[in-house]
A and B are shown apart, each in its own frame.
Chain A
Amino acid sequence: MKNINYFLFGLCITASFAGCKMKNTESAVSGDAAAKAYVAPGKYDEFYNFVSGGFSGNVVVYGLPSGRLIKEIPVFSVFPENGYGYSEETKPMLNTTAGFIPWDDQHHLELSQTNGEYDGRWLFANANNTPRVARIDLKTFKTMEILQIPNSAGNHSSPFITENTEYVVAGTRFSVPLGDQDVPISSFKKNFKSTISFIAVDKNTGRMNLAFQIALPGMNLDLSHAGKGVSHDWFFFSSYNTEQAYTLLEVNASQRDKDYIVALNWKKAEEFFKAGKGKKIQAKYAHNVYDEDKEKATSTIENEITMLDVKDLIAAQAIYMIPCPKSPHGCDIDPTGEYIVGSGKLAALIPVFSFSKIQGAIQNKQFEGDFYGIPVIKYEAALHGEVKKPGLGPLHTEFDGKGNAYTSMFLSSEVVKWSLKDLNVIDRSPTFYSTGHLMVPGGDSRKPYGKYLVAYNKITKDRYLPTGPELCQSAQLFDISGDKMELILDFPTIGEPHYGQACPASLIKDQSVKFYDINKNHSEFHTMGEKEAKVVRTGNRVDVYMTAIRSHLVPDNIEGVFVGDEVYFHVTNLEQDWDIPHGFAIKNNPGAELLVMPGETVTLKYLAEKQGITPFYCTDFCSALHQEMSGYLRVSPKGSNVPLKFGTNVIDSASEN
């Protein structure tokens, strides 16, 4: 009897152990979260949130606080949905010195600023793989310009702008030898350089132009931000791999206790450039511009750039390195421009540098050696203080304009709120999971709008209904208007966000173009009315000048095209009203469709490879009789004497029987 009791007792104890589990990271979302994130039907969101698409190559637009996806803007990847990269007018946008490239890795974004505040004019985007910087016009949400960056690889530290959008910078992640020299990979220290490119922006048109480059010793430039206010003249870049490793970077680039933040006086560099102190060197790069008036893009290959000598900058006290722990990633400047926050990926603290202390250290020559001649400022001399025990793996910091900073912690999967004044941690909130970038509207500008914070995460796992092995990325929206951060929404994102920018809707929505004025259509191939529609043959080339209006195409019957002809369909949308696009697709076309906005003319090239009757039609549901908006192309054998004939509603009763 007693044995059984002991046995049963033992069983009970063991059973109770099953109750000892580790708490999982379920956070309670408070009752009014839904109300805070809800935007009622028919109402607008408060903010436009522009988010980088990462490996999708596009820029994505969400509304905050609803998290609703409003638009995907094609930038560096072809977009069959609307013909970007497929139409004759947009193909040149994706041209590079390596030819037409249909994809890139879009990492960071920067809204144009005036006096350190967002002005709603342009959005700059970088391409990581084939280094380029793009400019998107926020009146039309179209990519207007793409500039390739020579002597660069892994254009990661890009596109960051000066307070008045005088320059956009592009910094190299993968150091490479300048030009196309053939050298052993192990000669990294000797031959490989990291370059910083300064792209000048025309303050009226936004047109970019590669002003000058600076070649620094080989290392990886990660992120950067321009100084504000007091630090207006300076630009700060985080760097890692100052170990100068070229293989197994995971280990070899993590050896040193500290890498650097490069502080560059861009104003002095600009002076050198304007004084003609740079050296002109041969470098090919593509510059692609979409002309709004002529409605087409042109690609020009440029041949030379101006390179400033880093030795001149050192002599002019214009460049310094500031030690920063453990492979820094984020390099963020607070709204006053006084504090520079370095986030070391593997660090367990956050160093905050003071601009005035840096200036003092330079004056008093408080250096601890140099990095290839560039003076290294003593860590303590530049330091304002360290945020202790914030979490693990700080990546990015943004500010709310109330003296608080928010840092994303990748390794400990949380967002940490701390005070700039006393460097104490105020609050922390878990993210789901492993947040990379975080963003406060205006949080990297002189005037943060505050109110919300979005954490863009790298790991999704169980956040949403599962969709097989390949999952979307997740983002969490926090209300930061109070003392504590409050999670109010969880929403999926397209591609892989690496960066975000959000501005009040009012900056953009009233300037948004509703449709193009057809009287201002100066496209070479426009057709200003159905009476002007025609088909013209020049040798092997056939130009179809077509109009689209609800619900018919003119011409919708085309004959007299032969096998081997190159047919160009120039479609002009004659509508002059809001939200009436027409699409155009033709059977067996190894390209994509066109989406033509009211008042626009877009061209699709079609090779008539096979004899037969080929239908074409409008692909955008435009009207009750959209299904009837179609036509036929007759492709006859080469050399046959079928006359060129075209029209709409031309009834040939003779040949009907």
Chain B
Amino acid sequence: MKKLTSPGKFSVILVILCLATLWILPMWRIDMRAPQYPGGLTMQIWLNDIKGDVDIVNGLNHYIGMHSIRKQDFAEFIYLPAMMLIFMGLGILVLVTNRKAAYYTWAGIFMAIGLFSFFDFYKWEYNYGHNLDPMAPIKVPGMSFQPPLIGYKKLLNFEILSQPDIAGWFYISAGVLLVLFCFYEWKKNRKEII
């Protein structure tokens, strides 16, 4: 079995460090603007919490029948950190076993987690925007309020921008690092054969 290159091993440490930021910085941010909110409203999604103007957003959204966002309703805030910790532990295992195959598997697991997270976020947003309270005071026929997964969207009088926050960028960097180093390891592999 092929061993990992030195830079490859170093990249494992880097990826783990990048993921560590998820505990100390916010992962995702949703910025909202409307004429009567001169400072704008912001919500920050952390690995294990949701912070920012959540109360104000809940207060506004109850008119159109959207459910309140409460930290305790999100199982994600428990199993996502757990999954990350396990993943980081697996990284140590990769270092110890020192095999390219382990590295490729590890990178693959990361992509799976990433895809699952985005799909889960999308599903939550879909539910949030479509599953409206039938007794809601304001009903706009045919209208749904699914926030954008990523990017800009206008919903009634609000402009919404959804994008990664600082730790989110580190997460994406980790992903990029993994892909790059997979190629690097593969290239180095071919060179050795020759």
Contacts and interface: CB of A to CB of B under 8 A. Distances in A.
A577 interface: yes
Contact of B138 (A549, A575, A624): A624
B59 A550 contact: yes
Contacts of A550: 59, 63
B103 to A, nearest CB: 49
A517 interface: no
Nearest to B55: A576
Contacts of A623: 63
A320 to B, nearest CB: 57
A625 interface: yes
B137 A577 contact: no
A625 to B, nearest CB: 5
A628 B63 CA distance: 12
Contacts of B63: 550-551, 623-625
Contacts, number: 18
B137 A575 contact: no
Interface string B119-155: 0000000000000000001100000000000000000
B137 A625 contact: yes
Contact of B56 (A551, A577, A625): A577
B55 A628 contact: no
Contacts of A624: 63, 138
Contacts of A549: 59
Interface residues of B, number: 6
B138 A577 contact: no
Interface in A581-632: 623-625, 628
Nearest to B62: A550
Contacts of A625: 63, 137-138
A575 B56 CA distance: 9
A577 B137 CA distance: 21
Contacts of B59: 549-550, 575, 577
Nearest to B59: A550
B55 A551 contact: no
A628 B138 CA distance: 12
- Interface SS of B by simple majority: helix
Interface in B50-83: 55-56, 59, 63
Contacts of B56: 576-577
B36 to A, nearest CB: 9
Nearest to A575: B59
A637 B137 CA distance: 36
Contacts of B137: 551, 625, 628
A550 B63 CA distance: 9
Nearest to A625: B137
A403 B161 CA distance: 56
B58 to A, nearest CB: 11
B82 to A, nearest CB: 32
Nearest to A550: B59
Contacts of A577: 55-56, 59
Interface string B34-58: 0000000000000000000001100
Contacts of A576: 55-56
A457 B98 CA distance: 89
A99 B63 CA distance: 47
Contacts of A575: 59
Nearest to A552: B137
Nearest to B36: A579
A649 to B, nearest CB: 9
A626 to B, nearest CB: 11
A550 B59 CA distance: 7
Nearest to B56: A577
A577 to B, nearest CB: 5
Interface in A522-550: 549-550
Nearest to A42: B38
Nearest to A579: B36
A623 B36 CA distance: 12
Interface centre among A576, A577, A628 (most CB of B within 10 A): A577
A437 B138 CA distance: 54
Nearest to B39: A578
A109 to B, nearest CB: 31
A582 to B, nearest CB: 13
Contacts of B55: 576-577
A479 B59 CA distance: 47
B135 to A, nearest CB: 9
A171 to B, nearest CB: 46
Nearest to A549: B59
Contacts of B138: 624-625
A7 B137 CA distance: 88
A623 B63 CA distance: 10
B54 to A, nearest CB: 11
A379 to B, nearest CB: 60
A87 B137 CA distance: 32
A577 B38 CA distance: 13
A26 to B, nearest CB: 42
A30 B35 CA distance: 37
A575 B137 CA distance: 19
A78 to B, nearest CB: 32
A549 B56 CA distance: 12
A331 to B, nearest CB: 45
A577 B60 CA distance: 11
A40 to B, nearest CB: 15
Interface centre among B55, B56, B59, B63 (most CB of A within 10 A): B59
Nearest to B53: A577
A551 B63 CA distance: 9
B147 to A, nearest CB: 20
A402 to B, nearest CB: 38
Nearest to A623: B63
Interface in A290-309: none
A51 B30 CA distance: 44
Interface string A145-176: 00000000000000000000000000000000
Given A577-B56, A625-B138, 11 more contacts: A549-B59, A550-B59, A550-B63, A551-B63, A575-B59, A576-B55, A576-B56, A624-B63, A624-B138, A625-B63, A628-B137
18 contacts: A549-B59, A550-B59, A550-B63, A551-B63, A551-B137, A575-B59, A576-B55, A576-B56, A577-B55, A577-B56, A577-B59, A623-B63, A624-B63, A624-B138, A625-B63, A625-B137, A625-B138, A628-B137
Closest 10 CB pairs of A and B: A577-B56, A625-B137, A576-B55, A550-B59, A624-B63, A624-B138, A625-B63, A577-B59, A549-B59, A575-B59
